[in-house]
């Protein structure tokens, strides 16, 4: 099996930034957060990023619903 280090990303929970992960002699890029199955996972293990990302999505859905209800006269 070959691993493409350029495409490989890492997210380690509650780890100090100075600790670099390597594969052979090459450093693996570390992320602060990423989205997996529509859920945002952050390195601190908290849910604040998830909540922040869901608020605009909910506002958009409610805006569409409001327009639909107004157009039907309800």
**Tens of pLDDT, residues 22-66:** 888 888 888 888 888 878 777 777 777 778 888 999 999 999 999
Residue with tokens 């909540």: 51
Tell me, what's the pLDDT at 64?
Answer: 94
Tell me, what's the pLDDT at 17?
Answer: 62
Structure tokens at 63: 């805006």
Question: Which has the closest alpha carbon to 32: 8, 6, 11, 9?
Answer: 11
Tell me, what's the pLDDT at 51?
Answer: 85
Tell me, what's the pLDDT at 74?
Answer: 64
Tell me, what's the pLDDT at 50?
Answer: 79
Residue with tokens 């002699």: 25
User: Domain map of the chain by residue range?
Assistant: 9-71
Taking residues 14-28, report their average pLDDT.
77
Question: Which has the closest alpha carbon to 30: 52, 14, 46?
Answer: 14
């Amino acid at each position: 099996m070959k691993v493409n280090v350029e495409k490989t990303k890492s997210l380690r929970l509650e780890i100090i930034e100075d600790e670099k992960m390597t594969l052979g002699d090459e450093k693996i890029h570390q992320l602060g957060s990423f989205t997996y199955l529509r859920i945002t996972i952050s390195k601190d293990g908290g849910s604040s990023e998830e909540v922040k990302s869901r608020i605009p999505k909910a506002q958009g859905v409610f805006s569409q619903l409001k327009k639909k209800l107004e157009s039907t006269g309800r």
